[in-house]
Structure formats: C-alpha cells, structure tokens
Amino acid sequence: MNRTTNVVLSGLLALGTIAATSAPAIAARTYGAIAISAQAGVFGRATGASSQAEAERLAMAQCVQLGGNDCRLATWTRGNYCGALAVKTFQGGGMSWATSTAPTLDQAKSQAMERCLQEAKSACDDVIADVCSTD
C-alpha cells in the first residue's frame, strides 16, 4: 500500500469508529407468547422475551399461576409481529378459541375474531389477549 491508501484507510476507519459509537443502540429482536386454559378460562401472556422458549415459558407460567391446569401454548410472535387470542364462551360451559398472527395488532385481532367465528360457528365474545414483538 502506498501512503495515500494508508491515509484514506485510516480516515475510513476513524469515520467508522465515530459512526459506530455515535449510532443509537439497535433494539434486539423480542418474542411474545400467549397460553390458554380453556377449562379454567384463563390465559397467560408474555412480551419482550429474548427467545421463543422464554416467551412460551413465561406465558405458560402466568396461565398456571392464574389457575389453569390445562394450559397450552396458543400462539407466539417474533420480530415486528403481533398475535391475538379470541374466545367464545358457551352457556352451560365450554369455550372455543382461535388465534392469529399478523404484521399489525389490528390485523391480528381481526383475523383471530374471523377464525374464532369459523371455529365456534357463532360470533365470538372478544379478543382477550394480544402480544406484539419487535425486531
């Protein structure tokens, strides 16, 4: 390398160092999850988890803590995605539910309600839980 190349490379390295130290911290990808106990009528949710396994564990733990003895994972999300859980509670007991994930919370909620209607064969009550994650 000649002197001009060394000066240019040194300048670029210096600029890269300045850019790297002055750039805002990039947010880490997060995960979310929803667990449900249809028998107990409770759910657990987790957002901002650092892994899918952690999100699922936290959602399941919350579901159990709230009295669910048949908790199961309903849905999970990763990076810039949202999930929603819609339910239909039947008179005399029982529950039907459905989930959806989508790029926006409104889309996830709308799709969960549509899927719940198909599952329950009648209009569902509401979206009872939602989660969003970031990238």
Q: What is the pLDDT of residues 10-30, one digit of tens each?
A: 333 333 333 333 344 456 899
Mention every residue, 6+ apart, whose C-beta is less than 8 A from residue 130. Answer: 34, 45, 82, 83, 84, 85, 105, 108, 109
What are the tokens at 109?
């909620």
- Provide the pLDDT for residue 94: 80
- pLDDT by residue (tens digit) across 87-129? 999 888 788 999 999 999 999 999 999 999 998 888 899 999 9
- Provide the pLDDT for residue 27: 60
Does the residue 25 lie in any domain? no
Instruction: Write out the residue range of the structural domain in which residue 93 sits.
Output: 31-133
Residue with tokens 């952690």: 54
Looking at the structure of the chain, the number of domains it has is 1
Share of the chain above pLDDT 90, in %: 66
When pLDDT is averaged across residues 26-47 and rounded to a whole number, the result is 90
DSSP 83: E
CB 21 within 8 A of CB 127: no
Does the residue 117 lie in any domain? yes
Does the residue 24 lie in any domain? no
Does the residue 26 lie in any domain? no
Does the residue 21 lie in any domain? no
Task: Tell me what the pLDDT averaged over the chain comes to.
Answer: 83
pTM above 0.85, yes or no: no
Does the residue 125 lie in any domain? yes
- C-beta pairs of 95-100 under 8 Å, 24+ apart in sequence: 95/38, 95/41, 96/120, 96/124, 97/36, 97/38, 98/124, 99/34, 99/74, 99/75, 100/75
Does the residue 51 lie in any domain? yes
The b-or-e profile of 77-106 (16+ CB within 10 A means b, else e) is bbeebbbbbbbbbeeeeebbbbbbbbeebe
- Provide the pLDDT for residue 5: 34
CB 72 within 8 A of CB 43: no
